[in-house]
Structure 1
Amino acid sequence: MNDILEDLPSDLDNPFFTQFRYSKVNGIGREEGVTRRDPSSILRVNDIYYVYYTRRKTIRKIREGIKNLSEQDWMTPVTDWDLSEIWYATSLDGFDWHEKGIAAFRGPKESWDGRTICTPDVLAFGNRYYLYYQAVAFPKMKRSRNVIGMSWAESPDGPWHRFDKPLLKPGNQGEWRNQNGDDETVSIFGDWDSHKIHDPYVIVRDGKIWLYYKGQPMGWHMKNSGGIGWGVAFSEKPEGPFIKSKLNPITNSGHETCLFPWGSGVASIITHDGPEKDSIQYAEDGINFKLVSNLTLPPPSAGPFCADKFSNTKEGKGIFWGLAHLAQEETKEQNSFLIRFDCDLNKVQKRHGFKNNDVGFNEDVLLSNDLIASNDQISWEVNKKIINKIDEPKNRKVLNPTGDLSLSTKRNHEIYGVYKDDQNELFTAFKYFPLTGFPYEDGFSRNTPSKVIFHKGEWHVWYDCINKKGSEIRHASSLDGLVWSETKACIIKNCTNPDILKWKGCFFLYVVKKYLKNNKIVKTKIFVLESPSPLGPWGKLKDLGLFQIHQNSPYLLVRQGLIWLYFNQSKRLQTEEVEWRVLVSDEAKGPYNEISSKPVLTSGYEVFFFPHSNGVVAIAGYTGPYKNTVFFSENGFDFFVKGKLSAPPLSGGPYVPDAFTHTKVGIGISWGLAEMEAFESSQSKSINKLVRFECNLTKNVDRTGFFRPWNFRYPEKAYLGSKFILTNDQKIKFKRKTKFTDINMKIYQPTIYKDKQSE
């Protein structure tokens, strides 16, 4: 593992790991024609919870009747958060909310905050309350700079008084290529936050106000631009002046800001964008963040309830719950709405049911709007990327940073070598497409497809088919990779996890055999079968003679003239504590010998590998501390983290063109098969189906549609589906517990404080 990236403990032993669970809220949830999004952190004052949020209710829909931004008016929003103001709501339990009305108003139409104020956070400091928010002037153009504004009140219910100037502005500008246009192309790059600053988030630490924010550079859509990151600025007073840290940016990833005191330091929830997306990070000093946990489906725009956020504490307790939003990007509707999240990120009390780390996405999610592959995206000719011929300027601050750097920026250049996902040749979105030809069989699941191979004009795949009576290995073939014909006869029973090898003109099928005692699996071992053809007949099982009790998921590549057998092993069956090993042999049936005494990976129950450039890529799925991660190794066994992925294939079986060719320059992959959970109408329980995945991990063609700047979004069904929804039992237990354990906000009282408003 990378020296600068610390090894992570198992998820079960990691206090920073949690599964997030979601639930609908009453009063500020979905409402036709009304947008509610970007919740602040939550106050608790006199046993009442307060939340502040972006709210929009406009006569017209987004861009209704507007072709160009220059045509905008005061009735038609150009984005979901345009023409919005800050509203607030209260609650006694965090589930049932009462919308109270507007908190902070926009400024005069001609002012710096006249068009929009949004993405608020709240500060309790001394005897007053402060709302910090993103502000936009009219007209809202692509090149519009965003600033941070503020309003203050003596009560969380207001009235709120507008501060008449911005508290924080973007950094030093670069130069737009076309001075009279409105595109985002630059001839000179500016600072990392030269264009916009968003999402203010405040805590009190070391007797000062720490204002965290998200920065976006000019020319962000260009290849050599920096990416989205977070910065921090400090002030002794709520109204400033705020001084930006010299170590900014302090994260290399993340979208909306979310942080909370943890022990003597600060923890953050990093979502959506960048090479360390979907993670929790921790900084003892509040600035130099290290990655401490990888997550699946963290809350978008999280606003947690954090009782000690303003207490100047060195003993931060963490968080249990908060609010988030499902934005227009997720719902594909005109309006966003708020939901609740629950988690187990509290140092004092632990919650049961939040440590499940083997949670994938089902059919409703994988075949939703953002993640389904279109017919065009399966056609290579349509998807050859058109390269932008504009000669982009160099960005020395990004390519060769100098001076003091935050730990996150150092990781960016020493591990990932890039600042944005689209600069990383090992980043891709995964898209999915339904298959035909696998008939429904009552109670049968099709799982763990092998690599796909091409032989004599046909594609071939092997997989296990499981029901209550046991498992069997089956085979299917296809002319196009979409419509499959399943071989009726099973190849072998009581075996799972097949993979295929072509070696010296023959085909070898590697499978995992189960040993049962009292109908329980007590041991699993890897065996191999041989055939002159993908269609069989297959010979007898041969034990490879490997020594561990539980061996699973064999995966075969040919490299350096040898057969490389990757597999996972564990001391106990179905545990996250798996180790991936690799053995080599010059014969398909062995003997196999160690090439490295160390595990090659410690995450991913099913991992797939493929040659890429001068090495091997590994993609780990939903299990283990490095879930949803892409790795690279030049020698095939020392793997290094290269970035994070969203919704990678479960039990992926890719088509690897050079899997068996002794290649020195790997081509990569563009598609394969995987498994996904699905519900049949006649079944109360789920089954697994095979599904096709598409990606952009090939060297010879660059495919369009597999990257977008704001990353790919999950639909509402992901958050409120069966795997991530807060159960009624968990809700009841939370209400019972928080009645006695939730405390009101601890507010720092400065010893010397005189503000300008009181003068």
Structure 2
Amino acid sequence: MSSFNQAIKLFQTSLLACSLAMAALSSCKEEKKGASVVAQSPDFKIEFGKVSPKSIFRNDSLSIWGGSLVKGEDGLYHMFYSRWPKKIGWEWVNYSEIAHAVSESPFGPFEHKDVALPDRGPEFWDGSTTHNPTVHKFNGKYYLYYMGNTGDKRIVSVPGKPKINWVHRNNQRIGVAVADSPNGPWKRFDKPIIDVSPNEDAHDALMTSNPSVCQMPDGKILMVYKAVGKKDPLPGGGPVVHMVAIGDSPTGPFKKYPEPVFTFEGERFPAEDPYIWYQDGKFRAIVKRIRHQGKIREFSLVHYDSEDGIHWDKAKNFEISKRIVQWENGRVQQFEHLERPQVYMENGEPMALLCAADTLDAKGIRESFNIQIPLKIEKIAP
């Protein structure tokens, strides 16, 4: 080989090595940049503001539970909530329906407008009951996620002595309805979007319910849902856990992930009612924590976060509230229950937390209603 050809070959080899080095350097910079984004995600400290007396939505003849909020193109705030006749007792599992109320403010007062997802017959998977809604607007359409079931509607409780219709409870599945406006009409589907898994030892072999969803940075839909398996004796089954699924679109299909989240070692029902969202580089969640001390259960609201939406850890500021609310007049009240937390976001920031709350009346009958709580979030740099 001539000295000229050798020089050309040496030059080409050097050029290739230089290109590879530059590519590696660029890749390293991108990895460091990505790691920096995660590292710079702030920790959230979540607190409640004072609550206005107008921020209560109740009905004398109906039990009201939950409440999820979206702002419509009409400038109104649309709340979707569960309700059932108060006189029949705590029969949400077989008589709940999802209704619709509106307000000019996310803090009320709200006025009932119509029933969004009514009873449509026991031949449908969600024909007898619709419950625990969470509403979102994705890409110009409105998506109302919920739990539905079917069954015989047999009443098994009396006021003050709640029991449960296990047929309805174990027929719970997760669905979604779609509309161009929060005023409807809502298109419902013939099949749930999260059904039970076919294998008997699955965490969700018995029932699925209580969906919480948010849109991921890549446009996919992250869902965390309540699941009950068949490892514990039926009809109750158990343990009660939460699972993760990711969908390519708001209506699925959803890929389930195998490991439960929000778990505590040795506890078979440690959490319930998560609300998830994505903000400032992390997925965030407000969750109802259930602590068991013998037969006594203590509820509080706590805070988790996650970098990928699949693996969740207790946030640095974990405790949020032990069901305590302060009113604008300074009165402090601790509720028996403060559940189904649903965050309302506006301009990318959490503004309000809608919760199901209840008190006992003079006869010892449980009165449930929705409360809208201002949120105060302090962002703490890592």
TM, length-normalised to structure 2:
0.68
Distance in 1 between residues matched to 2:44 and 2:360, nearest whole Å: 28
Aligned alpha-carbon RMSD (Å): 3.0
After TM superposition, give the deviation of residue 22 of structure 1 in Å.
Answer: 5.9
**Paired amino acid for 1:263:** D
CA distance in 2, matches of 1:41, 1:210: 19
Match of 1:326 among 335, 345, 357: 357
Shift of residue 278 of structure 1?
3.8
Whether 2:133 is the aligned partner of 1:120: answer yes
Hey, what's the Cα distance between the residues in 2 that align with 1:47 and 1:347?
29
Residues 54, 81 of structure 1: 8 Å contact kept: no
- Asked whether the 8 Å contact 2:55–2:373 carries over to 1, the reply is no
1:561-620 CA deviation, whole Å, 9 max, x = no partner? xxxxxxxxxxxxxxxxxxxxxxxxxxxxxxxxxxxxxxxxxxxxxxxxxxxxxxxxxxxx
- Counterpart pick for 2:249 among 223, 228, 237: 237
- Distance in 2 of aligned mates of 1:105 and 1:112: 13
Check conservation: 1:44, 1:307, Cα contact below 8 A: no
Indicate how the Cα distance of structure 1 residues 263 and 124 shifts in structure 2: closer, same or farther if over 3 A, else same. Answer: same
Closer, same or farther: CA 210–41 of 1 in aligned 2, 3 Å: farther
- SS where residue 82 of structure 1 aligns? helix
Q: Select which of 358, 369, 372 maps to 1:337.
A: 369
C-alpha distance in 1, partners of 2:278/2:43? 14
User: Residues 322-471 of structure 1 correspond to what in structure 2 (within 5 A)?
Assistant: 322-327=353-358, 333-345=365-377, 347=379
Distance 1:272 1:123 in 2: 24
Aligned to 1:690: none
* Alpha-carbon distance between aligned partners in 1 of 2:110 and 2:318, rounded to the nearest angstrom: 31
Report the alpha carbon displacement of residue 19 of structure 1 after superposing the two structures with TM: 3.3
Q: Which of the pair has more CA radius of gyration?
A: 1
Q: Which residue of 1 aligns with 2:71?
A: 43
Give the direction of change, closer, same or farther, for the CA distance of 1:323–1:27 in structure 2 (3 Å limit): closer
Alignment-derived partner of residue 191 in structure 1: 202
Letter in 1 for 2:212: Y
Alpha-carbon distance change, 15 to 290 in structure 1, aligned in 2, over 3 angstroms:
same
Secondary structure (helix, strand or coil) at the match of 1:38 reads: strand
Higher strand share: 2
Matched residues in 1 for 2:49 and 2:119: separation? 34
Q: Residues 260, 238 of structure 1: CA spacing in aligned structure 2 closer, same or farther, 3 A cutoff? A: closer
Unaligned runs of 5+ in 1: 1-13, 63-77, 175-189, 309-316, 349-759
Change in CA separation of 1:82 and 1:43 when aligned onto 2, cut-off 3 Å: farther
Measure, in 1, the Cα distance between the counterparts of 2:103 and 2:313. 35
Q: Is the 8 A contact 2:262 2:313 kept in 1?
A: no
1:30 is displaced (CA, Å) by 2.7
Code of the residue aligned with 1:237 in structure 2: it is S
Give, in whole Å, the separation in 2 of the partners of 1:244 and 1:118: 22
CA 1:262–1:216: 2 relative to 1, 3 Å: same
* Structure 1 residues 330 and 165: CA distance shift in structure 2, 3 A: farther
Q: Which residue of 2 aligns with 1:203?
A: 214
Look up the equivalent residue of 1:151 and give its one-letter code.
Answer: A
Aligned to 2:302: 279
1:405-446 Cα offsets, whole Å, 9 max, x none, are xxxxxxxxxxxxxxxxxxxxxxxxxxxxxxxxxxxxxxxxxx
In the alignment, the residues of structure 1 paired with residue 304 and residue 79 of structure 2 have an alpha-carbon distance, to the nearest angstrom, of 25
Tell me which residue corresponds to 2:192.
166
User: Are the counterparts in 2 of residues 152 and 160 from structure 1 also a CA contact under 8 Å?
Assistant: yes
The CA deviation string for residues 269-327 of structure 1, in whole angstroms up to 9 with x for no partner, is 1213258964211101112111122323254111111236xxxxxxxx54231211114
C-alpha contact 1:56 1:82 (8 A) present in aligned 2: no
- Residue matched to 2:51: 23
Q: Which amino acid aligns with 1:234?
A: I
Partner of 2:127: helix, strand, or coil?
Answer: coil
After TM superposition, the runs of 4+ consecutive aligned structure 1 residues lying more than 4 A away are 24-28, 219-222, 274-277, 327-332
User: Which residue matches 1:215?
Assistant: 227
The structure with higher relative contact order (CA 8 Å, sep 6+) is: 2
Whole-Å separation in 1 of the counterparts to 2:50 and 2:132: 21
Q: Do structure 1's residue 142 and structure 2's residue 166 form an aligned pair? A: yes
CA distance in 1, matches of 2:378, 2:99: 29
The offset of 1:53, in angstroms, is 0.9
Deviation of the 1:211 alpha carbon: 2.1
How far apart in 1 are the matches of 2:145 and 2:239?
A: 24
Residues 620-639 of structure 1 aligned to structure 2 (within 5 Å)? none
Q: 1:242: how far off?
A: 1.5
Give identity over the alignment, percent.
24
The normalised TM-score by structure 1 is 0.36
> Displacement, 1:116?
0.5
Structure 1 pair 92–239 and aligned structure 2 pair: CA distance change class (3 A): same
Which amino acid letter does the alignment assign opposite residue 306 of structure 2? A
Tell me the distance in 2 between the aligned counterparts of 1:126 and 1:209. 12
* Cα offset, 1:95, TM superposition: 2.5
Task: Tell me, yes or no, if the aligned pair for 2:61 and 2:85 is still in contact at 8 Å.
Answer: yes
Q: Distance in 2 between matches of 1:121 and 1:95?
A: 18
Deviations 1:28-78 (A, max 9, x none): 6232221211212443545322211112237x522xxxxxxxxxxxxxxx6
Is the Cα contact below 8 Å between 1:203 and 1:211 reproduced in 2? yes
SS at match of 1:272: strand
- Matched AA of 1:161: K
CA contact (8 A) 1:41 1:322 kept: no
2:47 is paired with a residue of what secondary structure?
coil
Count of paired positions: 293
- Helix, strand or coil: the match of 1:47? coil
